[in-house]
Amino acid sequence: MRRRLVHVSAVLGTMALVGAGMAAAPAATAAGPVAGSTSGGDPYFPAAGNGGYQVSHYDLSLRYDPASKALSARAVLLATTTAALRSFSLDLRDLTVAGVAVNGRRARFTHTGGELVVTPSHPLPAHAPFVVAVTYGGTTGQPEDNTGALYGWVSYADGAFTANEPESASTWYPVNDVPYDKATYSVTVTVPEGTVAVGDGELLSRRSKAGWTTWRWFARDPMASYLSMAASGNYTLTTSRTASGLPIVNAVDKDLTPAQKARADASLALQPEMIAFFSGVFGRYPFSSFGAVVDDDRDAGYAMENQTRPIYSGAPSESTVAHELAHQWYGDKVTPRQWKDIWLNEGFATYAEWLWDEHRGRGTVQERFDEAYAVPADDDFWQVVVADPGPSDLFAGATYDRGAMFLQLLRTTIGDDAFFTVLRRWAGRSLHRPATTAQFLALAEQVSHRQLDALANAWLYTKGKPALPSATALAAAAAKAGTAPAAIAGSGGGRR
């Protein structure tokens, strides 16, 4: 969400074998190896991400002492080159690198300005797998993004949590920190005994020794780096299953007040029903588990849709849990290639939140649209370009609510049958296909047989408060779509 809230051994063995095989890899092309780019190409965050390779797996081993905020760690990455490389880079900020090895051999490196540039002992051929291991550590803190909000590895007295969006996974491990380079993760966290450590996916093991406990988590479904997570604290960890057998793993801070705990428990108890409801609307739940981390440290003031394990800064409301769950389809599975298209995450999750509230009898989707449309035309709410908000307005209210408003207008324009077909097909995209606004609009036009340029230009690409389509225009659009129009003003338009 990131909006302020108001209402593995076998894997390492495989990696070692792949690395050992590199000695027999073919020679570089006649053009010769190149230095990999130090940018992932996003104009909003040009320093994030890198070029020349793609990562398929991260194996992270972390040891963290909350008392001293000392983090010592080792990261092993399995990657594949996309070009012959004489060097490549990883994003890593505010931590100190002790050593780097590539395919088991010590590599030279420089580490300045958050950029770890690695020069292997031998150039890497194009389209070949390689393994890089980085040993690093340092003292953690409370980093802030360009809006002053806490993000990345956020340290507290009893532990820490991570909220990486948009580009702060690099505050706790070396990474190709772009949303389109998805990988699987093994995360092992060693913390003082009595403290619980949580990661994405499923818990593989827990072992205590000499006053420390090591927790090992494995996320089998590839994910964007901004959705990876680690958290530790004074949590109660529980595991249950939905009626279909999906694991629900929740970690709830023991230091919540009784009122906060009651609110959190009530919201989290609805997760199975929410999963069933959204699965009926969007298609099958896309990952191997779900759950939550609820932390009592509320300084961050937001929730974050980490894949399979959202984290909540304070006790979440029911609607917020629904929002973060919807992100598992829209944002986590279907992920924008560039951050300018963040409305494909937040507008969709907000619309899903409206659908859930309507399902629970708290007003219709159309009523939520009407409330948002009532914002005066001179308000800053209408001065954001939804499909290109700029880095400072990524998490502005307009990205959320005006994105959802566009979806409601799309629904009233093309009719329920076409609209919900579009949502399901969009959610059915491969998780390895990065998404764009243009691709979504093309899908909507293909399904509805409607030309949507005017609607998109007015509501997604232009500043200012757009005029509502007239009743005549809606009726004509609905007739062409073969459906009855829902009212664009007043109540109604809710999915039945």
pLDDT tens by residue, 253-301? 999 999 999 999 999 999 999 999 999 999 999 999 999 999 998 788 8
pLDDT of residue 154: 96
Q: Does 487 have pLDDT greater than 70?
A: no
Band of residue 28 on the pLDDT scale cut at 50, 70, 90:
very low
Which one of 2.60.40.1730, 3.40.50.10490, 2.60.120.380, 2.40.10.480 gives the CATH number of domain 9-326? Answer: 2.60.40.1730
Residues of each domain in the chain carrying CATH 1.10.390.10: 339-481
Mean pLDDT (the chain) is: 91
Q: Which residues contact 431 (CB under 8 A, 6 or more apart)?
A: 182, 221, 222, 286, 333, 334, 335
Q: Mean per-residue pLDDT for 354-383?
A: 98
Q: Are strands 53-65 and 183-192 parallel, antiparallel or unpaired?
A: parallel
Q: Mean per-residue pLDDT for 164-183?
A: 98
Q: Which fold has domain 339-481?
A: Neutral Protease; domain 2 (1.10.390)
Band of residue 472 on the pLDDT scale cut at 50, 70, 90:
very low
pLDDT of residue 299: 82
Q: Write down how long the chain is.
A: 496
Nearest to 113 by CA among 152, 170, 75, 72: 170
Enter the tokens of residue 207.
């072992």
pLDDT over 70 percentage in the chain: 89
Q: Mean per-residue pLDDT for 37-44?
A: 98
Query: Mean pLDDT lowest for which of 37-46, 138-147, 469-478?
Result: 469-478
pLDDT of residue 490: 30
Could you report the per-residue pLDDT of 235-252, keeping only the tens digit for each?
999 999 999 999 999 999
pLDDT of residue 36: 98
Backbone angles phi, psi at 23, to 5 degrees: -60, -25
Residue 411 parent element (H or E): helix 397-414
Band of residue 470 on the pLDDT scale cut at 50, 70, 90:
confident
Could you report the per-residue pLDDT of 253-263, keeping only the tens digit for each?
999 999 999 99
In whole angstroms, how large is the CA radius of gyration of the chain? 23
Q: Does 3 have pLDDT greater than 70?
A: no
Question: Chain-centre distance of CA 39, in angstroms?
Answer: 20
Q: Does 6 have pLDDT greater than 80?
A: no
Between CA 216 and CA 200 the distance in angstroms is 10
Query: What is the DSSP code (8-state) at residue 179?
Result: T
Q: Mean per-residue pLDDT for 206-233?
A: 98
pLDDT over 90 percentage in the chain: 86
Between CA 172 and CA 424 the distance in angstroms is 35
| Farthest-apart Cα atoms in the chain, separation | 74
Query: Mean pLDDT lowest for which of 297-306, 329-338, 456-465?
Result: 297-306
Q: Does 8 have pLDDT greater than 50?
A: no
Query: What is the DSSP code (8-state) at residue 483?
Result: S
Q: Mean per-residue pLDDT for 466-490?
A: 56
Q: Does 352 have pLDDT greater than 80?
A: yes
Could you write out the three-class secondary structure of 288-325? Answer: CCEEEEEECCCCCCCEECCCCCCEEECCCCHHHHHHHH
Enter the tokens of residue 213.
């406990």
Render 224-258 in DSSP notation, one character per residue. Answer: -GGG--EEEESEEEEEEE-TT--EEEEEEETTS-H
At position 346, the amino acid (one-letter code) is E
Q: Are strands 53-65 and 105-106 parallel, antiparallel or unpaired?
A: unpaired
Band of residue 147 on the pLDDT scale cut at 50, 70, 90:
confident
At position 134, the amino acid (one-letter code) is V
pTM as predicted: 0.90
Enter the tokens of residue 427.
């959610």
Q: Mean per-residue pLDDT for 135-162?
A: 94
